[in-house]
Structure 1
Amino acid sequence: MAREFALLGVPSCAGTHGPGQEKAPAALRSAGLVDRLRAAGVKVTDHGDLPVVPFRTDPARRDRQNLPLVVDVARAVADRVGAILDSGAVPLVVGGDCTITLGVLAAHVARRPDTGLLYFDGDLDLSVPATSRSGILDTMVLSHLLGDGAPELRDVGPRTPLMPVSAIAAFGYEPAELGPAGRERLASYGLRAVSCTEITAPGTDPVAEARACWRALASDRDRFVLHFDVDVIDSVDFPLADFPHFNEGLPVETAFDCLAEFGSAPPLAALVVTEVNPHRDPTGEMVDALVSALVRALAPRPA
């Protein structure tokens, strides 16, 4: 049976570094996301957007900026995604910053506690308020999923920790961005993680690495949520991300090839697209290319 997708926009900058991501859902729709998916044979219903949450700083909470807003957005996402899941559709959630994935997973875990997470992101987002210099919650997503960080956010789902470490696989992160504290946290968690340098090593087939990653995750999880942050792409190739990684990350075509592999995986239970900043794309060319990549990833393929 063909998958039926439900598009939900989350135009929120509650957890991020600056303005722009709140405009991503509108930009993706303007580039023809819905019509192009349908033209490619994808069944998709547009469920509209949650309310816009613009960027602001939070001097009163320098180590966990805009925490109440981030929690409110995550809960709103969980409610809307839960309704989509109850209808039998596959959520296609376009943000917005990375913290929206907490809400998506809260809805899934409430219904299927064995749901996995494939974190396709240029960062591992393992910061915590106690050690973060910026206090930006966008950089703390996996820590909160794993039960660390601010109680209000780590407890946003039906259990704490929301995800056991065995249910998560990270793919494409830039090891140079981790720093000593990040490397220590990665080792302490025992998180399964494949770096961008491993994926692009000479003689390595990136798509085969992506296939091995989702299959390993699916070996004990019959469904997974795919979190795709465009900052996994080298910003020299594709400077669309809100937090750029210049001369780091994956080449753009490699990233899109891996996205297509993940999107075609039978256990895919949801796709979350994050950190798209239209302010960085005045001509619209990169948003157009991203829409093409999403269509390619989700379009039906011959058996």
Structure 2
Amino acid sequence: MKIRLIGVPTFSGSLYSGTETAPTALRHAGLKDLLRKSNLEVHDLGDISLPSYLPRHNIAPVRNWPSPRIIWEELINKSQEIFNLEDFSLILGGDCSIITGTIQGLYNLFRDKVYVICIDAHLDALKPSPDTCVGAAAMGLWFLCNHNMFYNKPAEFNSSNVFVLGTQQNYEENYGISFYSLNNLRLQGIKASVYNLLTKIPKDSKIFIHFDLDAITKDELSAVYAPSDNGFSIKEAKELLSYIVQDSRVIGIEITEFSAIKDESGTEAKKVVNILSDALANLHTGNLKKFHSL
């Protein structure tokens, strides 16, 4: 299986820098070599092109706007190069806001067949407010699932196309998005939870994974933009990801929120590349074929 690797070195959706350093750090940590040892061919497309100037400001409602949208448009423009059904796409973010451009690009190719599994400590569906300046990293799913004045959402992409795994709090408004809390995943078991989720997704779908590294506890992975006091252990995260990628409908994954400026020794980056290489060694093995819905 060939991996199409591309970097998105941006922090346009965030207040502070750090996530823009992740693609280079993860490559330097030996990602490509480890993937090849898992019998995966790697085609590195480099990083997406970014303009020399991206606005940064703290003006409500969306911090740094329109910088996040500029990044989305570049991802959309490169979607045919990034995604190919014969290959598996691995996107190295970047902050969480890149999900909007990634999914729009996928939607342009596969329309309503696109489903998203988010592994995330939070439900990134915050509605912009004229009274508060917040980064787009907290709003990605809201832009995708709600008609709004900032961005033309994919017409046939809705909250029913999204599943979020690993949330650590309750939400008064979830916009109809299905989510599995960290506590429930542990109570029901990771394998059983993946079984339950995959049976809800149509056989002819194209599944994409959004993996926010804040889903992992800071005790085991601290070089994250906003580390979690609680979260998956690395073992649990690897297990969860391994079960999901066994499904042949999964066509790609993006990794977000790694902050290499918090990782002077490079040991944290090596943890991330080990999670990815170990999980992707199970890519499309078909062991979860029986979970496909009818």
Query: Do they fold alike, i.e. is TM over 0.5?
Result: yes
Unpaired runs of 5+ in structure 2? 287-294
- The partner residue of 1:211 within 195, 199, 219 is 195
- 8 Å CA contact 2:98–2:140 kept in 1: the answer is no
- 8 Å CA contact 2:55–2:65 kept in 1: the answer is no
After superposition, what is the alpha-carbon deviation per residue over 1:202-233, rounded to whole angstroms, capped at 9, x for unaligned? xx3223323332x1342365221100000011
Distance 2:200 2:57 in 1: 37
| Residue in structure 2 matched with residue 123 of structure 1 by the alignment | 122
Q: Does structure 1 residue 93 correspond to structure 2 residue 79?
A: no
Q: Does structure 1 residue 197 correspond to structure 2 residue 179?
A: no
- The partner residue of 2:209 within 226, 245, 254 is 226
Give % identity: 23
- 8 Å CA contact 1:200–1:250 kept in 2: the answer is no
C-alpha deviation, 1:144, in angstroms? 0.8
Distance 1:216 1:28 in 2: 33
State the one-letter code of the partner of 1:46. Answer: D
| Residue in structure 1 matched with residue 159 of structure 2 by the alignment | 165
| Residue in structure 1 matched with residue 290 of structure 2 by the alignment | none
After superposition, what is the alpha-carbon deviation per residue over 1:23-56, rounded to whole angstroms, capped at 9, x for unaligned? 1000010011112111210122000012468997
SS at match of 1:200: helix
After superposition, what is the alpha-carbon deviation per residue over 1:149-188, rounded to whole angstroms, capped at 9, x for unaligned? 5x23x31x6x34x62111111111111xx5xxxx2211xx
SS at match of 1:282: coil
SS at match of 2:172: helix
SS at match of 2:227: coil
After superposition, what is the alpha-carbon deviation per residue over 1:93-112, rounded to whole angstroms, capped at 9, x for unaligned? 11001111111111111111
Distance 2:165 2:47 in 1: 28
Distance 1:127 1:169 in 2: 16
Distance 1:221 1:235 in 2: 37
| Structure 1 pair 129–145 and aligned structure 2 pair: CA distance change class (3 A) | same
State the one-letter code of the partner of 1:252. Answer: I
After superposition, what is the alpha-carbon deviation per residue over 1:251-290, rounded to whole angstroms, capped at 9, x for unaligned? 2211121111122221111101100111222221121011
C-alpha deviation, 1:62, in angstroms? 2.7
C-alpha deviation, 1:78, in angstroms? 1.5
State the one-letter code of the partner of 1:239. Answer: S
1:1-303 mapped onto 2 (5 Å cutoff): 3-51=1-49, 57-59=56-58, 61-85=59-83, 88-113=86-111, 114-130=113-129, 133-148=132-147, 151-152=149-150, 154-155=151-152, 159-160=154-155, 163-175=157-169, 178=170, 183-186=171-174, 189-201=175-187, 204-213=188-197, 215-219=198-202, 222-246=205-229, 248-300=230-282
- 8 Å CA contact 1:167–1:217 kept in 2: the answer is no
Distance 1:56 1:22 in 2: 15
Distance 2:219 2:33 in 1: 30
- 8 Å CA contact 1:233–1:250 kept in 2: the answer is yes
- 8 Å CA contact 1:230–1:240 kept in 2: the answer is no
Distance 2:182 2:139 in 1: 20
| Structure 1 pair 14–295 and aligned structure 2 pair: CA distance change class (3 A) | same
Distance 1:10 1:44 in 2: 17
After superposition, what is the alpha-carbon deviation per residue over 1:2-24, rounded to whole angstroms, capped at 9, x for unaligned? x3220000000000131111110
C-alpha deviation, 1:200, in angstroms? 2.0
State the one-letter code of the partner of 1:43. Answer: E
| Structure 1 pair 50–173 and aligned structure 2 pair: CA distance change class (3 A) | same
